[in-house]
Structure 1
């Protein structure tokens, strides 16, 4: 057995063409740029289509939810009909959807086009992982995964620059025309990729697919509604209530219940030896579940911080959208650089060591930001904090995806890609929703306590303003809202209280994210003690439990597991 392992280590790994990686990275940019461009182009879209900004937000949400809801199904469709062919069809449809966005004449057309693009990304995302798993091996595979992770922030930078420039010059629609051209390029280049054999005998678990979609949709709408519908008691903006209770927590609970039914269904299908919409062997060991936990926490923290930082720049500092775009470029670039170069650390440090250090860096950066943010953006400590945050975030996201993929057999690469996409979108949506609800709730508390400490603010004015439905407002917006209610001294005091409360709410929110990052060190220490350089070729045996026993005589199946995982598997075996 040791001779076999030595031979495996000694065997040279031939490098393959980077064409597949070029297609993977450019397609990821195509998918990510589309969402970022909508955000940057919001002002132009609302003017051209005569629609409120919330309609653009609804379109973005529709695409994200559609992708998350159907991505597990997308992985199986790719396996059933062949990843390359399904990928090519999906890229073409995405290009058509981008053309429809560019030609949109109504909010409904924009909504349908964006929802369609999200649905086809559910077919694209698993295929990207399959292309990397089948084309690259060893260190080359690590670099390829790092570049795939780096493509997301790269798309963000391009959207900030190109879409922002287009929106201010030739028009926002040209950003999506550019995506149509990129789709054509990706489609043409994809014919140079080697075919991934289809599995025509594979039957699709439609019940599992429906359960997964329902759970994701319920969770997504539930978490998204926390800030507007109410965390517990229903607000006036809630579409309905149950005995005064907000629908948001009820949808979250319903989503968790359906999620448990989904995993029970998967285990039942496994016991019966029937195909499943998601193979639980992707999460077969404690270390693989720890990898998922680290991925979810980092994406939660990253997207929440990515929401709070522009909020700080635009509301606290009163900067414009284009100024905000340029201000966060150092943060986005640091994510890109860390995602690209973290692979160089794989040979010297274990995944658990890199992840633990990364979370310490993220927590330190958020703490630095919390104690140094104020009204001036030129402060060097703020910029340094953003760069540190990006470096830690980019390194962790690339690492956990790489480690999870290298722990799974090649046959499950599509499931790994689908799981990564599901965790990415769901954690991101939850991160923004929870950060918003927490920050607004903290703002309400601080506004009430601040108003009570200022005798010049009358009890009548406090009673007229619904503090429980407070939101982050600039000084000008608050002055306009209170113009007919407050006298000169009252208005001045209210503006001062609001300025202090909104800054403190953001500081406390950043400290909360820092604390969560430190807690993530616990699952990080459960990550593998070393990383596989090569994906195993065969599947493990499976049973009704997600922790599957392993053949201890197969050295390939043991490589990459932590000592704790080996002890657990040996005891089970």
Structure 2
């Protein structure tokens, strides 16, 4: 579900793509190819979160390994998406788009055929590379094929269809996992990829970017290594503890590599992340807001399916449908949200929206075990939907208007990368809190019970699976129920702690907005009608 909460690359694509006319007969086919290709990538992200609890059981995975199923994809997508856009501009958008589709499809087949967790993690990493080539190109291709009002209409159509498919993807993925097999959530990409490639080679014209900058390979390498090392250290801390030499080494080395990345970007003639943009207080504030708010969202959307399936005993289909109200609110209220900034300026919606989001996270603290969806998770999802709807368009517009128009594309790309990186780091950090809270509470519950030491030792070997921990076979039925209750209550206590942290992060993002965002956006040097289009499409895709 994390992709639902992250703003895509297309702001930059719209601003950078020159118009290259093509036959009108080709236009509908091109639009279909971009919609199907983007939907393929987006659905694959949303359905995986729903499948994680099932994957943990089927593949006998630990909580850390389930993190890597998500993180390996997000890591390469976050680090390479800026490069993917540059490659498209330089070598041809159709060519790179097709290459991304092919790589994504092959990696999807690998995912579906994986027999171990490690194979799945590696395949997901390759998927991330394919996604980094695929995602930036879809809107750039549309902008190169359509012009004027047709372009605006095509973008709106693309945004609407991809939003709907992302929403339906969670339900479809849950149904496939429940009725067929988890492998089909990946195999489903193969026929879609064939359709996209067929249309691309038959009807899609080639287009290139204007004045494409040199590729920042050093920046890309350092960003990938730095983020990967940090995430590895954070995830392994659950297995080894934060003070373990390997964990400390990874965190220190990862931090040093990220510092080297900043130095390289400061001296590079064509950096992937120009540091001069952060001289703007509004731009820096908007990106800090993004980091805090999307950290909360990324961690929550990762963990909620585990609670719904393993604790509340929802079916995979029901868990996939649980967040449909959130998606529908963002879709149908997108145009209303886009008008908020015109009426009230940027500061008010960017303060009120995250505050509502914080309330939504806080409402997730209330549910215990059991109860109706409508009185447990539904209220929090509704408030969360309204909070993010109010926040999304003003945040995007603020980022875009805080820099010169010619830099709007790279500003959007940076903000998008920060949003994805926030989710990447948050999943690892939130799991540290969840893991430690789970173990603390489990020890507390077990201390009150008359459990044989041998059983406790056997159970300790299962702690890394959290709520998916298996009860030892050589216990009585009564003891089995008692131990299962201890595990369940321990997870719920840890889950509530994480929701509290998410609420505090969202509150902090509202405070950042109040202190740093100007009430009226800074005016770009070269105003463009694209800004209004961006407000609409960002929300509809969210």
Report the TM-score, using the length of structure 1 for normalisation: 0.72
Q: Does 1:506 align with 2:506?
A: no
1:477-488 residue pairs with structure 2 within 5 A?
480-481=471-472, 483-484=474-475
- After superposition, what is the alpha-carbon deviation per residue over 1:418-466, rounded to whole angstroms, capped at 9, x for unaligned? 42442233211222222221122122223333444x3756789768865
SS in 2 for 1:195: coil
Q: What is the match of residue 346 of structure 1?
A: 341
Shift of 1:531: 4.1
Residue 257 of structure 1 is matched in structure 2 by 256
Output the CA distance in 1 between the equivalents of 2:508 and 2:277.
24
Greater Rg over alpha carbons, structure = 1
- Consecutive unaligned residues of structure 1, counting only runs of 5 or more, are 1-15, 235-241, 538-554, 561-573
Q: With a CA cutoff of 8 Å and minimum separation of 6, indicate the structure with the bigger relative contact order.
A: 2
1-side partners of 2:412 and 2:191: how far apart?
A: 25
d(CA) in 2 for partners of 1:503, 1:64: 26
Distance 1:155 1:124 in 2: 17
Shift of 1:386: 1.4
- 1:158-557 paired onto structure 2 within 5 Å: 158-168=168-178, 175-176=185-186, 178-184=188-194, 186=196, 188=199, 195-199=207-211, 202-230=213-241, 232-234=242-244, 242=245, 247-269=246-268, 274-337=269-332, 341-409=336-404, 411-452=406-447, 454=448, 456=450, 466=460, 469=463, 472-473=466-467, 480-481=471-472, 483-484=474-475, 494-525=483-514, 526-531=516-521, 536-537=525-526
- SS of 2:130 mapped into structure 1: helix
Bigger proportion of residues as helix: 2
Shift of 1:342: 2.4
Moved more, 317-326 or 404-413: 404-413
Q: 5+ unaligned residues in a row in structure 2: which ranges?
A: 1-20, 533-542
Aligned mates of 2:493, 2:375 — CA distance in 1: 20
Q: Is the 8 A contact 1:362 1:392 kept in 2?
A: yes
Q: Aligned-pair distance for 1:209?
A: 2.4
SS in 2 for 1:346: helix
Moved more, 502-511 or 170-179: 170-179
Q: 1:402 to 1:21 in 2, by over 3 A?
A: farther
Per-residue CA shift, 1:462-487, capped at 9, x if unaligned?
6886599565337xx56x33844x89
Contact kept, 8 Å, 1:127 with 1:417, in 2: the verdict is no
CA distance 1:393–1:21, shift in 2 (3 Å):
farther
| Partner residue in 1 for 2:9 | none
1:115 paired residue number: 125
Aligned residues: 498
Deviates more, 1:516-525 or 1:68-77: 68-77
Shift in Å, 1:288 = 0.8
Scaled by the length of structure 2, the TM-score of the pair is: 0.75
Q: Secondary structure at the residue paired with 1:210?
A: helix
Distance verdict in 2 for CA 1:417–1:369, change over 3 Å: same
Query: Is the contact between residue 146 and residue 342 of structure 1 (CA under 8 Å) also seen in structure 2?
Result: no
Q: 2: CA distance between counterparts of 1:137 and 1:229?
A: 57
CA distance in structure 1 between the aligned counterparts of 2:147 and 2:285, rounded to whole angstroms: 25
Cα drift, residue 251 of structure 1? 1.9
